[in-house]
Structure 1
Amino acid sequence: MDPNPIRTALSVCNHLVSQKIYAIVVSHPVIGDLSPAAVSYTSGFYHIPVIGISSRDSAFSDKNIHVSFLRTVPPYSHQADVWVELLKQFNYRKVIFIHSSDTDGRALVGRFQTTSQNQQDDVEIKIQVESIIEFEPGLETFNDHLLEMKSAQARVYIMYAGKNDAEVIFRDARVLQMTGEGYVWIVTEQALDAINVPEGTIGLRLVNSTNELAHIRDSIYILAKALREMNKTEEITEAPGNCNDPGNIWESGKLLFEYIRKQVLLNGATGKVAFDDNGDRIYAEYDVINVKEMNMKYPVGQYYFNSEQNKMKLRIDESNILWPGRKKDKPVGERIPTHLHVLTIEEKPFVYVRAIKRSEGDSCKNDELFCPLLKISSKNSSEFCCRGYCMDLLKELAQKINVTYNLTLSPDGQFGSYVTKNNSGKREWTGLIGELVNERADMIVAPLTINPERAEFIEFSKPYKYQGITILEKKPSRSSTLVSFLQPFSNTLWTLVMVSVHVVALVLYLLDRFSPFGRYKLSNTEGTEEDALNLSSAIWFAWGVLLNSGIGEGTPRSFSARVLGMVWAGFAMIIVASYTANLAAFLVLERPKTKLTGINDARLRNTMENLTCATVRNSAVDMYFRRQVELSNMYRTMEANNYDTAEEAIRDVKEGKLMAFIWDSSRLDFEAAQDCELVTAGELFGRSGYGIGLQKGSPWADAVTLAILDFHESGFMEKLDNKWILQGNVQNCEFYEKTPNTLGLKNMAGVFILVAAGIVGGIGLIIIEMVYKKHQIRKQKKLELARHAIDKWRGAIQVGLFSKY
């Protein structure tokens, strides 16, 4: 190296400007050991563009130092773009990143993280960096870091290291058996040149990286094209004539740099040539290299520019890849645990929880699983046993995918919500979801609704049960009043019947009274005639016919009156038959209908003081209402009424304190099956499903999904439905719905009261009659006494008169 590189650089600069050179193409050191960095740095003072064709250090991307530097080769950090595509192709979601602590290593890990995060918005696969291991170049051993890596879950290692450091890392990894089956190494170009690179390693190699003539050709084309375009609109001034003057800046050089940076060469010798804002080559193509037997390196794919889609594409022949351990099947890429930490939550009928007391010798039964709380709660015991739909599913699932597990209950009794913590503005999940997101659990087996908010942070299996949202309410009780027997007819009809009885009686009386045939002679010696039908007898006859009672006397005698009597008998038959039919419908076969028609009921959609509806706060149903704009008015009304648990809401529905509880249809169908006084209203809405919750990128996701699909096909899920949800009670309720009501005193109390009123009325009338009769007797006695006194007086007067004469 020249002891005075600045002086040497100035000499080069003066030589170039004396030759009227407007741009420099730099490959190998020029003038002794002068590096491209020195040339670029010096030329940057005067804004003379420099085009590099072999310099790939990330330091050249810093425009504060290398102001006018461009290059037709990409920096090492651009390999991160290919690595992200490889991980997506192989479906690897969790990696460990190993890099040297130099500029290129840090730039590479930074670009990898940025690229992976930017692409996660468009793809389902989200790449997680489990840990980043940074080392100082010049390694002697890497054992400590490898031991740390071996205990991690990820088995995919992304490595940027120089050739010598890579040899140390591979040497120690081989000793710890971390280069064999189940492990994946994806390395940069330098590490691929290590003499002990393991079989199955995946690496990259820049296409045309050693073809300097191709890069020089593309550089000249780019430069000529830029000068041609610049000359059309700009006046190109001469380059600086004296490099010893630091203030002699070439203004045209600034413009020329921008013109070069904006150039695009579609069909260059090295492919499509273009530059980013830093002057770095983009659209560079790579070969994907696979290390096979005898350290032979074979291309198994390519990262290339697709002119039809106008973007870079990755093409991989996976069948031609030899993986570590000389396996043809792709490794899973993660350490798959065989013992899982499973969480659940109390929710009937899916999970029943029973507290146990070890001190009293209590323990879990055969159909129960031991499920302690994660944290000490306010309950009497922190040890519980669980059974139910989900527990049977968990036992069958563990046997199907061949894992063991320990089961615990939710720490706060909640499914979890996405909330802001400690006024810091940072949001995080609570409850079951929070435990899974923070990797404190491996799986959730519970009635966990699949929704977009949760799916963004955790993995869901295929639904093990499809369901929706419905409304639970208490069946309206039939209002049996004292006059329930009058319900078959309206008040108007009853009034007309009452009027008709007396009108017919009056007409019968008149017809029989004025008819010449309304009376007939009695067969006695005196030849007297029977009296015609009186009004009292006519009323008795009309009522007797209507009520179908026997009539022994007081019947019409005339033909005209008897014709009317026949018509009245027909009318009475129709009225009585209609009343009997309607009475059966009202008192025997009638079933009350639900008060609500469903979620679109106008009383739910509009604020009403006399209607209370609610759901469980921070639940999946609560999230559904927040998403639906058309339900915003309804949600604002019900938000203040929401409950902490479903059990509290269902209890209040039974007690009549809550009119409508909106919740998952599976749970509400179960409650309606248990209690025939409860009913679900309307059709299902917000259809979704219950799924098994897993960590993002869990290696068990596919196995769990396949197992659940198999359970559906084999009928196992249907058995669980019949055993835990329906429990045979739906059929009982349906039978109850189709069976006529057994009439009781409540239904027929009015009839008995009517009879009692008749008895009381009869007693009252006979008392009146007796009082009236006694009054008549007393009055008659007084009249007889008065008549007797008068007769005596009259007799006395007559005797006195006779005595005078």
Structure 2
Amino acid sequence: MGLSETARVTLQVQFVDAGQYDGREPNTLYITRNIVCGQLLNRSVAVILLHYGRHMPISTSSTAAYALGFYRVPTVGVGIQDAEFSRKTVYPTFLRTSPPYSNEARVFLHLLHELQYREVVVVHVKADVNALQFVAVFEKDRSDFKIHVQKYIELDITSSLNTSVEEYFEDVTSNIIILFAKTEDAEVIIDSAPVLSTPGKVCMLSEQASNARRLPTGCLSVRPRQNPLSALRDAMMVMRNGVEFLADYEVDPPQQCANNALNSDWTNAVGNAFYKHLLSTAVFGDNKIEFNEKGDRINIAYDITNSVDGKLEVVGYMSGQNRMELDESRIVWLGGLSKPLEITLPKHLRAVTVADYPFVYAVPTIDSEGCEKLDTVLVEGIDVINGSIDTGFTFDLHLNDSYGAVLLGENGYVLNGMVGELDIDMADLAVGALTINPEREQYIDFSEPWLYHGIRILEKWKPRYSPMESFLQPLNSSLWSALFISVLLVGCAIFLLDLYSPFDRFFKVDKSRIDPDDPFLEPTEDDRLEFGEAMWFVWGVLLNSGVSEKTPRSCSGRALGIVWCGFCMIMVASYTANLAAFLVLDQPEKGLTGVTDPRLRNPAANFSFGTVLDTNTYQYFKRHVELSTMHRNMEAHNVRAAAHAVRALINETLDAFIWDSTRLEFEAARNCELRTRGTLFGRSAYGIGLQKNSPWTPHITNAILRLTES
């Protein structure tokens, strides 16, 4: 390459032949010394490696690309699609105009989306680097297309492959199979796996696998629209547009692996700058040519082909802008049938539930035939749903002890209960009072709701306590005792004062001196106060009943009576006022008003409330920050089952139970001592839980909708 006075760049191209392939593994030392150092490093500013023919070993290109990267010479690969060339630590100056094999993963995702398939099985060969990169890209991007991989099947190409392949597909329900393998491996797998040619299946092959012999009629495959010649033309365009970058530099490319080349300006600066310029500059020709940070070609068009009688017929394409065009009417499916269904629905399902009345009752029985005589809301509901689905299914039912929640463990999130069984494929259906919430929906699917509900509070009704001695409450016991003693003392005092009164002498006459016939003698009654009459007087004054009997006769007795009347007036007035106050304040305690009740937000030391652990209600309080105080107070009183909390309420070891409204209303209807309190909060619904991306989800959902409408 030389520079003229007008600063125009002249690009000289030299062809170097690496030799003929004779079936043996190339000698890397010979390639490095004779090809790279002897011919390629002849002041070359860039090298194009052309790899053609699928039988040619890739080691020739990898050896040359590694050595050229050591001297920071940009290397453009043509027809080189292996994943190892994306490793920048090994090939720091490599880029390619042919896309890597892993790019086919995105094409398959677009194809599945176009065909409206979501369930898929991916088959690849063990220890195949290209396959591992394909799986990594597929797994990374599949969520954008809502594609679910039922299983990644990794095959070990051995003599026993014929029997092992069938075992891998025993529990697979998806009819969509993607095979990524080298041509020779694909031939072995296709011959050993009849499932790839079974009518009703959809077989999708990678570019290399589509070159296998004896392809079944009806397979789909993908391949880049470019051919080796167009890829070479793209490489030349990249060089032509990028080499002008060197016009601003004093260029001295390395020559024949000389020692001084390792510390030259080219190796230290110019070579890397030139490579980065090639990566970052888009070239526009017949198609847009651009690369990612790994040097891989992006935004390239692909053809969608269909195997028909040993030939690959183009039935669609995906443009460089990821726009898919597919003519489904031209596709020949396996067995010549119509477009296959996405899945083959399993006919027997494993159902799990929790013994939680009134939805599910668990009754121990000795005779298994006795189970047939029992029925519950949900078991009957499953039968009704099953009857409304065209395909139908059978199921067996087993119990778990909890509905399940998403818990944070030492190694990440852990699922327990029914939700955990669905996640680890121990069950297909979870039926019961299983509430739909965001935490569970991340790991399992839910059907359409079959019952809406909320959260309420249950407490035991406490009647007003009115004992016989309640009239004594206004005064304490010491005051009552002092009052009764005062009655006795005052009564005795009045009696004694009257007994020894000086006025008593007027009533004492010597009867021997009195003439009974004296006409002027008038008998008078001795009205001296007796002891009983004195006590009657004292009680009459105290009880404010009026005094209609004898009163004290003596002056001192009457004075004491007046003092006693004043004392009784004060005591009676105080007692009456206090009694009225007690009657007003002694009202029945009001029930809880709801989740905002102060007794729940700031509970007293002797007030306890809780819910069931690892349930939707438990997660509700844990999820909401404003209820964090309540959540902490509940921790010491939470239970493992709702029945335990109901018993604790009845036994008064628990003051309030927070749980699903449907269950609490059922308990309140059964037991008159239990009352639901407050309004509904945390509204949600019950649904049938299924495994994530379960094929049964839309069928059960549609059945519930039909039953709801009817």
TM-score, structure 2 as length reference: 0.72
What corresponds to 1:283 in structure 2?
299
What corresponds to 1:303 in structure 2?
318
**Deviation of residue 616 (structure 1)?**
0.5
Question: Which of 417, 435, 444 is the matching residue for 2:405?
Answer: 417
> Aligned partners of 2:154 and 2:86: how far apart in 1?
23
One-letter amino acid of the structure 1 residue matched with residue 211 of structure 2: D
What corresponds to 1:328 in structure 2?
338
**Deviation of residue 151 (structure 1)?**
1.4
Question: Which of 585, 593, 597 is the matching residue for 1:597?
Answer: 593
Distance 1:362 1:19, change over 3 A: closer
Matches within 5 A, 1:306-455: 306=321, 312-318=322-328, 320-333=330-343, 335-358=344-367, 363-366=370-373, 368=374, 387-401=375-389, 402-410=392-400, 413-419=401-407, 425-455=411-441
One-letter amino acid of the structure 2 residue matched with residue 190 of structure 1: Q
Distance 1:296 1:331, change over 3 A: farther
One-letter amino acid of the structure 2 residue matched with residue 262 of structure 1: S
> Aligned partners of 1:439 and 1:703: how far apart in 2?
19
Question: Which of 43, 60, 79 is the matching residue for 1:54?
Answer: 79
> Aligned partners of 2:52 and 2:652: how far apart in 1?
90
**Deviation of residue 356 (structure 1)?**
0.7
Q: Per the alignment, in what secondary structure is the counterpart of residue 335 of structure 2?
A: coil
Q: Per the alignment, in what secondary structure is the counterpart of residue 631 of structure 2?
A: helix
Deviation string, structure 1 residues 688-723 (Cα, Å, up to 9, x no partner): 111111112222111111111111112xxxxxxxxx
Question: Which of 279, 290, 299 is the matching residue for 1:274?
Answer: 290
> 1:642 aligned to 2:638?
yes
**What are the ranges of 5 or more consecutive residues in structure 2 without an aligned counterpart?**
1-18, 21-25, 472-582
Q: Per the alignment, in what secondary structure is the counterpart of residue 370 of structure 2?
A: coil
RMSD: 3.3
**Deviation of residue 189 (structure 1)?**
0.9
> Aligned partners of 1:29 and 1:76: how far apart in 2?
15
One-letter amino acid of the structure 1 residue matched with residue 298 of structure 2: I
Distance 1:339 1:134, change over 3 A: same
Distance 1:141 1:643, change over 3 A: closer
Matches within 5 A, 1:603-622: 603-622=599-618
Distance 1:53 1:657, change over 3 A: same
Question: Which of 151, 165, 188 is the matching residue for 1:129?
Answer: 151
Q: Per the alignment, in what secondary structure is the counterpart of residue 355 of structure 1?
A: coil
Distance 1:177 1:656, change over 3 A: closer
What corresponds to 1:146 in structure 2?
165
Structure with higher RCO (Cα < 8 A, 6+ apart) = 2
Matches within 5 A, 1:349-748: 349-358=358-367, 363-366=370-373, 368=374, 387-401=375-389, 402-410=392-400, 413-419=401-407, 425-478=411-464, 595-714=591-710
> Aligned partners of 1:151 and 1:414: how far apart in 2?
31
What corresponds to 1:771 in structure 2?
none
Distance 1:126 1:171, change over 3 A: closer
Paired residues of 1:476 and 1:594 also in contact (CA < 8 A): no
> 1:185 aligned to 2:203?
yes
> Aligned partners of 1:118 and 1:297: how far apart in 2?
27
Distance 1:260 1:159, change over 3 A: same
> 1:109 aligned to 2:127?
no
Deviation string, structure 1 residues 47-98 (Cα, Å, up to 9, x no partner): 2111112111223223344332210111112212323444455565554433
Q: Which moved more, 1:316-325 or 1:606-615?
A: 316-325
Paired residues of 1:97 and 1:109 also in contact (CA < 8 A): no
One-letter amino acid of the structure 1 residue matched with residue 423 of structure 2: V
Q: Per the alignment, in what secondary structure is the counterpart of residue 604 of structure 1?
A: helix
Paired residues of 2:195 and 2:201 also in contact (CA < 8 A): no
What corresponds to 1:81 in structure 2?
106
What corresponds to 1:167 in structure 2?
187
Q: Per the alignment, in what secondary structure is the counterpart of residue 122 of structure 2?
A: strand
**Deviation of residue 23 (structure 1)?**
1.0
**Deviation of residue 349 (structure 1)?**
0.4
Q: Per the alignment, in what secondary structure is the counterpart of residue 302 of structure 1?
A: strand
> Aligned partners of 2:371 and 2:460: how far apart in 1?
35
**Deviation of residue 395 (structure 1)?**
1.9
What corresponds to 1:770 in structure 2?
none
**Deviation of residue 165 (structure 1)?**
3.3
Paired residues of 1:94 and 1:129 also in contact (CA < 8 A): no
Deviation string, structure 1 residues 350-372 (Cα, Å, up to 9, x no partner): 001111123xx972253x2xxxx
TM-score, structure 1 as length reference: 0.64
Q: Which moved more, 1:391-400 or 1:295-304?
A: 295-304
> Aligned partners of 2:642 and 2:72: how far apart in 1?
72
Deviation string, structure 1 residues 192-216 (Cα, Å, up to 9, x no partner): 2334222332210102134x2x434
**Deviation of residue 642 (structure 1)?**
0.7
**What are the ranges of 5 or more consecutive residues in structure 1 without an aligned counterpart?**
307-311, 369-386, 486-585, 715-805
> Aligned partners of 2:445 and 2:197: how far apart in 1?
29
Distance 1:325 1:484, change over 3 A: farther
**Deviation of residue 479 (structure 1)?**
5.1
> Aligned partners of 1:599 and 1:318: how far apart in 2?
58
> Aligned partners of 2:164 and 2:155: how far apart in 1?
7
Paired residues of 1:97 and 1:133 also in contact (CA < 8 A): no
Paired residues of 1:287 and 1:299 also in contact (CA < 8 A): yes
Q: Per the alignment, in what secondary structure is the counterpart of residue 683 of structure 1?
A: strand
**Deviation of residue 611 (structure 1)?**
3.0
What corresponds to 1:243 in structure 2?
257
Distance 1:606 1:4, change over 3 A: closer
> Aligned partners of 1:683 and 1:706: how far apart in 2?
32
> Aligned partners of 2:691 and 2:116: how far apart in 1?
15
**Deviation of residue 446 (structure 1)?**
1.2
Distance 1:111 1:466, change over 3 A: same
What corresponds to 2:223 in structure 1?
205
> Aligned partners of 2:694 and 2:627: how far apart in 1?
36
Paired residues of 1:72 and 1:280 also in contact (CA < 8 A): yes
Distance 1:177 1:132, change over 3 A: closer
**Deviation of residue 10 (structure 1)?**
4.5
Q: Per the alignment, in what secondary structure is the counterpart of residue 254 of structure 1?
A: helix
One-letter amino acid of the structure 2 residue matched with residue 26 of structure 1: L
> Aligned partners of 2:615 and 2:39: how far apart in 1?
73
% same residue? 33
Q: Which moved more, 1:275-284 or 1:617-626?
A: 275-284
Deviation string, structure 1 residues 230-276 (Cα, Å, up to 9, x no partner): 655xx3421123435485463222221222122223x442x332222
Q: Which moved more, 1:61-70 or 1:646-655?
A: 61-70
